[in-house]
Chains A and B, each alone.
Chain A
Amino acid sequence: MNELLDMGGYAIFVWSSYGIFFFSLIIFFLINISNLRKYEKIFNKTKNKIE
């Protein structure tokens, strides 16, 4: 386990790369999903008002 965490002395580089990569992808995905839900809500409200 320690060997894996140590990454042959490159731990700081490997783990920070993977961390930044997955953190950014997850945040980007969540922002888009929440924006879609928000816009769908607003659009449906506007549509109902017009109808």
Chain B
Amino acid sequence: MYIKIKNNHIEFIKSANPYLIFATIFAFVIGLYYSLFQSPPDYIQGDSMRIMYIHVPSAWFALMTYSILAGSCVLWFITRNPLFNVVARSIAQVGMVFTLMSLITGSIWGKPTWGVWWVWDARLTSMLILFFLYIAYIFLWQAISNKELASKISAALAIIGFINIPVIKFSVDWWNTLHQPASISKLSAPSIDVSMLIPLFIMTAACFLFLVTVSLIRFRLVLIENKMLRTSSL
């Protein structure tokens, strides 16, 4: 299995870019309208609950991006196809930004809800570890000058770090945490009202479009970086 990136693939990604940017902006505008104007305040948390519309999608994509990153690293180890390395490096920074957003917005939401900015409970701590894993992956690759070795070490770190993903997901069930359990589950009906689900799903779609748009921009950037590295080593 060896997938090669052809010039027409890059041209296709390039031509899709403006449409993706437009779709992302459009989805965020609609999402903001629903989040701030259409959705009712929560009967306990009041309007502070509106932070959920940016906090939850950020957390979901922080986890999803890391899963793709770890999956790409596994495939790179098996096939040694550089494409998987490029994919991993393209999405790592986007995942790091979503993790940071999840931590910051969660902390701001925590103050009016729990009365504290931060607690060292299992969910928050494991999320902070995820942020450090992203940073370690990005900086390891940059710090090691031998890029073959850098790819091996950073990919190994990403794969080992994947242990943290189920810990984050199930931390609220395994331990007694201040963080609430999941309100939306695949196995049961969501415990939040549909008037709040709609803005949440629109904001999730907007964040997904942002993830795709920036990942594709970074994909082109990483490909050029690779070509420049190869040119300079010749």
Contact = CB atoms under 8 A, between A and B. Distances in A.
B55 A32 contact: no
Interface in B81-95: 93-94
Interface in B38-83: 41, 46-48, 50-51, 54-55, 58
Contacts of B101: 20-21, 24-25
B51 A13 contact: yes
Nearest to A36: B221
B111 interface: yes
Contacts of A13: 48, 51, 108-109, 111-112
Given A13-B111, A21-B58, A4 B36 contact: yes
B224 A40 contact: yes
A7 B51 contact: no
B51 A14 contact: yes
A33 to B, nearest CB: 6
Contacts of B94: 28
- A: interface residue count bin: 20 to 34
A9 B46 CA distance: 9
Interface of chain B, main secondary structure: helix
A22 to B, nearest CB: 8
Interface string A1-36: 000100111100110111011101100110011011
Of B51, B55, B213, chain A has the most CB atoms within 10 Å of the CB of B51
Contacts of B48: 7-8, 10, 13-14
Nearest to B225: A39
A28 B227 CA distance: 23
24 contacts: A7-B47, A7-B50, A8-B41, A8-B46, A9-B46, A14-B47, A17-B51, A18-B32, A18-B36, A20-B108, A21-B104, A21-B105, A24-B101, A25-B101, A29-B210, A32-B214, A33-B217, A36-B217, A36-B221, A39-B228, A40-B224, A43-B227, A46-B228, A46-B231
B97 to A, nearest CB: 5
Which 3 pairs across A and B sit closest by C-beta, in order of nearness?
A: A8-B47, A10-B48, A7-B47
Nearest to B217: A32
A16 B109 CA distance: 10
B220 interface: yes
B228 A42 contact: yes
Contacts of A40: 224
